[in-house]
Copies of this chain bind each other. A is one copy, B any other.
Amino acid sequence: MLTRIDHIGIACFDLDKTVEFYRATYGFEVFHSEVNEEQGVREAMLKINGTSDGGASYLQLLEPTREDSAVGKWLAKNGEGVHHIAFGTADVDGDAEAIRGKGVRVLYDEPRTGSMGSRITFLHPKDCHGVLTELVTSAPDAQAEH
């Protein structure tokens, strides 16, 4: 069951400038940053609020590390903006299977590693009214940080 908006994924050309925009404009600070080579992104997570399921909601700022990554290609076509939205669940495997059974294309056979050691998968935007949609189960220790 999806129990929160986990994050909004925003693609940008320059991560440092975009982090600085969010800090200077709104006072949002970087909670965590990492490079995910499999996804081909450098990213910064800005924690915005805690959520009623014991998790949190973040902005995830994404800069591609290579032009041929999914985010790199998206950015070349669309320019900066909202790349995807993500819902948090305690059971990404079970939810992905259930959603696949409803005829929505799930992009990975098995969940992969996302931000902060989470396990993630994506749903095809053409099956989701144009919205690239991620499902996330946080790592146990990441949940404890909240």
Partner-B contacts on A (CB < 8 A): 1-5, 8, 10, 12, 18, 21, 24-28, 48-53, 57, 59, 79-82, 85, 87, 99, 102, 104, 125, 128-131
Which B-chain residue is minimally distant from A22 (CB atoms)?
A: B129
**Chain copies in the assembly?**
2
Which B-chain residue is minimally distant from A24 (CB atoms)?
A: B102
Do most interface residues of chain A lie in helix, strand or loop, or is the interface mixed?
Answer: mixed
Q: How far is the CB of A132 from chain B (nearest CB, A)?
A: 8
**Are A57 and B131 in contact (CB-based, < 8 A)?**
no
CB-contact partner of A18 in B1, B49, B129, under 8 A: B129
Please name 14 pairs of A and B residues whose Cβ atoms are closer than 8 Å in the assembled complex, sorted by A. Answer: A1-B27, A2-B26, A2-B48, A5-B48, A12-B129, A21-B129, A24-B102, A25-B102, A48-B87, A51-B51, A80-B130, A81-B82, A81-B125, A81-B130
